[in-house]
Amino acid sequence: MTEKIFRNLQAKIPFLVVGQQHTLKRFRELGYKTFSPYIDESYDSLDDDTRVYAVHKEIKRLLSLPTETKTQMFLYLKNITDFNYNHFFTQHLGTAKNTNLCFWYEV
């Protein structure tokens, strides 16, 4: 994981990951929530080339949704982004002063 994920946590922005395989799996293992079923996260387990294509396909799907649907989805995702924000600042940042999580946040 990189600081880009943690910047989205701070900003409370939903995200897709174009990164290493199983990044979202590791994110969940750290106690965070991801955006399934609103965002198709099946790409997380795919190999590199297939994963990039799957993320691109999901982005196109999300962009093609009607504005009203996107607005409703964003409201549902707000619960997840709020949870992740609070989890980061109460569980990780507060207890891991010398870890990479703090470094990523401070960048």
pTM attached to this predicted model: 0.79
Residue 95: predicted pLDDT: 52
Question: What's the mean pLDDT in 72-93?
Answer: 90
At 94 the pLDDT is: 58
For residues 78 and 40, the answer to whether their CB atoms sit within 8 Å is: no
User: What value does the mean pLDDT of the chain take?
Assistant: 86
Q: What is the pLDDT of residue 93?
A: 65
- Least confidently predicted of 3-7, 65-69, 99-103: 99-103
The residue type of 23 is T
- pLDDT value at 71 more than 90: yes
CA atoms within 13 A on the CB side of 65: 16
What pLDDT score was predicted for residue 107? 37
Q: DSSP labels for 36-83?
A: TTTS--GGGGS-HHHHHHHHHHHHHHHHHS-HHHHHHHHHHHHHHHHH
Helix, strand, or coil (residue 89): helix
